[in-house]
Amino acid sequence: MDDDREMQYHQANHPFHSHHLMVPISCFISYAGYLRQSQVNVP
């Protein structure tokens, strides 16, 4: 519930804040970390 309020707060105070770009970036970072980890595990 706090996340919803924080979300509305950001939308109200940062109307041009590209939050929809933050998700793919974080997903890409975690995916890159997964690839790096899998490459390390491969002999």
Which residues touch 10 (CB under 8 Å, ≥6 apart)?
17, 19
* Per-residue model confidence (pLDDT) at position 40: 77
Would residue 30 count as lying in a domain? Answer: yes
H-type alpha helices, 1-43:
2-13, 19-41
Would residue 29 count as lying in a domain? Answer: yes
Would residue 42 count as lying in a domain? Answer: yes
pTM for the model? 0.38
Would residue 33 count as lying in a domain? Answer: yes
pLDDT top residue among 31 and 23: 31
Residue 10's pLDDT band, with cuts at 50, 70 and 90, is low
Would residue 12 count as lying in a domain? Answer: no
Would residue 43 count as lying in a domain? Answer: yes
Question: Is residue 15 scored above 60 in pLDDT?
Answer: no
* Mean pLDDT, rounded, for 18-32: 76
Would residue 7 count as lying in a domain? Answer: no
Domain that holds residue 30: 18-43
Would residue 27 count as lying in a domain? Answer: yes
Number of domains, the chain:
1
